[in-house]
Amino acid sequence: MKKFFTLLLCLAAQFATAQEAPIQNPMLWADVPDPDVIRVGDTFYLVSTTMHLMPGAPVMASKDLKNWETVGYIFDRLTDSPKYDLQEGTVYGRGQWATSLKYHDGKFWALFAPNEGGPMSQTYICTAPKAEGPWTIHSRLRHFHDATLFFDDDDTPYVFYGTGEMCQLSRDLKSVVEGSDRHYFEREADERGLLEGTRVIKHNGTYYALLISHVFAPGRHRREVCYRTKDLNAKWEKKVILESDFGGFSYLAQGTIVDTEEGDWYGIMFQDRGGVGRVLTLSPVRWIDGWPMLGDEDGKVPERMRPYRSGQRETAIVCADEFASSELGLHWQWNHNPVNEAWSLTERPGFLRLKTNRVVQNLYLAPNTLTQRMEGPTCSGSICMDLTKMKDGDCAGLAAFNGDSGVLTIKKQGKKLVLEMSEQNVSLTEREKAVTNVEEKVIETVELNAKLASIYLRLDGDFRPGHNDAANFFYSLDGQQWTQIGTRNYRMIFDYRRFFMGSKFAIFNYATKKAGGYVDVDAFNYSVEKNKL
């Protein structure tokens, strides 16, 4: 009997823990900018910006607004220019931006416009029978900045974009209705920045447009504003619906609101958090006088919230990987379009093989660099790499990858092998994003046994407030005893002029003299500290 009651107490404790385990803000402490979120049935779907990473426009799913996982991508690659292949320039900080996601007439729809010039800037409208795909390109239209697709109750499609601009689309979503372009509001005098990141919903017969507002005036901050109207041709009213700092960082805005099956509402907004990128926060929405006010009773983003639904399995958007599948996991993205014939998961089952296929002089032009987001508060990623098939001039390793990168590189120099920890900084042209220079500062070098078959490399990230977005680097010959190397507490930064994204774990292999070598990666081991406030 005593054992029976003990078992009941344990089960009750587990149930209580599951019930009480809160969502800690940031809801996703990783680079997930420009979110759009919809609900279809009992599932929430989220899309985000990933720019030059491929596949692009990730679709993430959740049942409880706490546990998210990547379930698909809207496109595998973009092919409008050789720049997407790291040829004739790059698309660092460009590519896909601010995707809009909708579900209409039994189909998923997505709209995005690459932040580019000329024909590369055309807007894509894509569709799929389910969020996981397969997605197909439905039409191409002119460029719409930070746009949202919107279907009215009578199925009329619209695009809201830019700073208070809108137009009507043809019923087949393949053209803009002539003469339908117009401004539906004019920004205030002190809103000298763009009002962007538009998201539009309709609730109880009223249209709501949510935008981020940059205000340059004393006592005014970055904030989320809302415009509303009951008639698209009438005047729109305006109200600030969120103006909140959070977690020791500055004010946050840009995102959307979404309802539950029971009729409750939540707001999802992002916040700039330095080296980790732009993270997502979750807030309750209180409808007051017909306005969707975000935050707690004081209008602030709460530190923690109860999950919308309990008992859901734990999932994540950043994952360890033993490379046991013949298909690459959806948690991975390539830096620019991959060269598919130069990587494999099947030539040596249980390993990721990265082959050199082009001679380049630096990491920033290296094809087939494989990335995942880094996460806060702290995280750690490590790999074991087989070096036996490297050729003279080959460079392979693990990096905290960004415009400024901390890099662990194994270099094959004739018959020698050396390990370097370096700080690398890329310079890009403004228009073509062409690489003009890479400044490489070698901090520490270790000469390795020329017959060394494999090595372990590890990168730890610390994004806790006050810890300066620190990265630390380690290597091991046996996977047990680790030696720190190079810069202590290398500072990862966020630079909107170049990459415009948070730092990534990056696994790379490139040739500086002759193509044809390869490395095999045994596994990517990953751990993250749970957010505890």
If we measure between CA atoms, which residue out of 460, 310, 301, 454 comes closest to residue 379?
460
Using 50, 70 and 90 to split pLDDT, how confident is the model at 532?
low
Q: What are phi and psi of 197, to 5 degrees?
A: 70, 40
What residue ranges do the domains of the chain occupy?
35-305, 333-528
List pLDDT tens digits, range 176-202: 999 999 999 999 888 888 899 999 999
Average pLDDT of the chain, as a whole number? 94
Helix (H) or strand (E) holding 2: helix 2-20
With pLDDT > 90 as the criterion, what percentage of the chain qualifies?
Answer: 90
Compute CA distances 418 → 211, 425, 471, whole Å.
51, 21, 21
Q: Is the pLDDT of residue 169 over 90?
A: yes
List pLDDT tens digits, range 31-55: 999 999 999 999 999 999 999 999 9
Concatenated DSSP letters of 304-322: EE--SSSSPPP--SS--B-
Give the pairing type, strands 343-344 and 56-62.
Answer: unpaired
Query: Among 14-28, 177-191, 250-264, 455-469, where is mean pLDDT lowest?
Result: 14-28
| The token pair that represents 453 in the structure block | 């078959």
Q: Is the pLDDT of residue 127 over 90?
A: yes
Residue 515 confidence (pLDDT): 98
If we measure between CA atoms, which residue out of 300, 309, 261 comes closest to residue 282?
300
Cα(439)–Cα(443) distance, rounded to whole angstroms?
A: 13
Q: Is the pLDDT of residue 528 over 50?
A: yes
Q: Is the pLDDT of residue 111 over 90?
A: yes
8 A C-beta contact, residue 262 and residue 456: no
List pLDDT tens digits, range 312-346: 999 999 999 999 999 999 999 999 999 999 999 99
Topology annotation, domain 333-528: Jelly Rolls (2.60.120)
pTM of the model as a whole = 0.94
Q: Is the pLDDT of residue 213 over 70?
A: yes
Mean pLDDT of 70-80: 97
| The token pair that represents 140 in the structure block | 């191409």
With pLDDT > 70 as the criterion, what percentage of the chain qualifies?
Answer: 96
Of 20 and 297, more confident: 297
Neighbours of 51 (CB within 10 A): 20
8 A C-beta contact, residue 370 and residue 354: yes
**What's the maximum distance between 2 C-alpha atoms anywhere in the chain?**
79
Would you call 482 helix, strand, or coil by DSSP?
Answer: coil
Mean pLDDT of 391-401: 98
Using 50, 70 and 90 to split pLDDT, how confident is the model at 450?
very high
Using 50, 70 and 90 to split pLDDT, how confident is the model at 531?
low
List pLDDT tens digits, range 244-276: 999 999 899 999 999 999 999 999 999 999 999
Residue 74 confidence (pLDDT): 98
- The correct CATH number of 35-305 out of 2.115.10.20, 3.40.50.300, 1.10.10.350, 2.40.10.10 is 2.115.10.20
Mean pLDDT of 65-75: 98
C-alpha distance across the termini of the chain, in Å: 39
Residue 8 confidence (pLDDT): 38
Q: Which residues contact 94 (CB under 8 A, 6 or more apart)?
A: 51, 52, 114, 115, 116, 433
- Per the listing, tokens 């002539």 go with 178
- Residues paired with residue 385 on neighbouring β-strands, in sequence order: 455, 521
**Dihedral, CA of residue 274, residue 279, residue 282 and residue 286, to nearest 10:** 60
